[in-house]
């Protein structure tokens, strides 16, 4: 891709709602890209956000920000999609499939018409299913189509484990895998606290107990429901996760992040986008990392994949 050698990095953000605007704000504060074009069906909202963000430029790294249209995607390194219907109270992420699949078919067609050859990042729920749809609708190689997957779930797990151990969450290494939704699973077998495996820690101290671990993970899995109940939507955490993923791509970091990636035999699964640790760089997904899972974890991952495959089949039909 020509984008590999470009000095100017352009991100096209499609959808300027809560998540999109929060992501744009995170990009500006962290100086991740040199250009940001905001595209929204509500053109005035996109213009207002572009103006508001631009007024912060005297306090931030240099960035060109404007409200544009799909033609601006042609020279984009990244198209990030946050557009779509939001999860309502009591609604699961999978309940959104019908509404958002139709929206995505139109969005991806318009992006590809521009001549875009960069990387898609999908954040709209149900993210695994819609990332699969983006891959199919776009015709791009799977490595160039990435979903935010369980990047936020893994961050929530790290945060809560950090709180439990009274340690900086950046010294906690833990992954949530599977669907970004109700069938996701914590990978306790590969969790480490400051370099010590969770298994060793529990053997020495007798804690956290299984009951405590179940409670911690329950709060991770159900976090979105708790937040939606209190404030109507979740957006800051996922915006930070998207900014982190964007940086790993544009800065060619070879970082391992838990994203929604297409599996082609890894973990004994094929033809499904699902949350797994993957190496992320300028080409997109360099490779999926295959962790050694416990039998129970592998069973849960396959059960989660079955749920997603049924949802994908129903959507594409």
Cβ atoms of residues 251 and 237 within 8 Å: no
End-to-end Cα separation, the chain, in angstroms: 32
Catalytic positions are: 180
Paired residues of 274 in beta bridges: 261
CA distance 242 to 240: 5
List the Cα angle 264/267/273 in 5-degree steps. Answer: 50
- Cis peptide preceding 58, ω within 30 of 0: no
CA distance 234 to 241: 12
236: left (phi over 0), alpha (psi -120 to 50) or beta: alpha
Cβ atoms of residues 124 and 154 within 8 Å: no
b vs e for 6-18, b when ≥16 Cβ sit within 10 Å of the residue's Cβ? eeebbbbbbbbbb
């Amino acid at each position: 891709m020509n984008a590999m050698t470009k000095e100017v990095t352009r991100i096209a953000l499609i959808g300027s709602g809560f998540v999109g605007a929060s992501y744009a704000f995170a990009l500006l504060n962290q100086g991740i890209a040199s250009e940001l074009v905001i595209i929204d069906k509500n053109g005035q909202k996109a213009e207002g956000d572009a103006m508001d963000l631009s007024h912060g430029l005297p306090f931030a790294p240099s960035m060109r920000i404007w409200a544009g249209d799909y033609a601006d995607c042609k020279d984009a390194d990244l198209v990030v999609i946050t557009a779509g219907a939001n999860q309502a109270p009591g609604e699961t992420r999978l309940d959104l499939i019908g509404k958002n699949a139709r929206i995505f078919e139109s969005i991806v067609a318009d992006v590809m018409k521009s001549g875009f050859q960069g990387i898609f990042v999908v954040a709209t729920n149900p993210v695994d299913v819609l990332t699969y749809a983006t891959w199919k609708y776009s015709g791009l190689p799977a490595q160039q189509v990435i979903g935010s997957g369980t990047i936020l779930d893994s961050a929530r797990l790290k945060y809560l484990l950090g709180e439990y151990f009274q340690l900086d969450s950046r010294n906690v290494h833990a992954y949530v895998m599977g669907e970004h939704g109700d069938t996701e699973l914590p990978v306790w077998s590969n969790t480490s606290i400051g370099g010590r495996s969770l298994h060793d820690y529990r053997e020495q101290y007798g804690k956290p107990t299984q009951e405590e671990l179940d409670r911690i993970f329950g709060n991770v899995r159900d976090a979105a429901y708790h937040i939606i109940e209190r404030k109507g939507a979740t957006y800051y955490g996922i915006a930070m996760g998207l900014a982190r993923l964007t940086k790993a791509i544009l800065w060619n970091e070879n970082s391992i992040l838990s994203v929604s990636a297409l599996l082609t035999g890894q973990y004994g699964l094929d033809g499904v986008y699902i949350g797994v640790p993957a190496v992320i760089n300028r080409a997109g997904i360099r490779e999926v990392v295959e962790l050694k899972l416990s039998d129970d974890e592998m069973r849960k991952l396959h059960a989660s994949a079955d749920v997603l495959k049924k949802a994908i089949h129903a959507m594409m039909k």
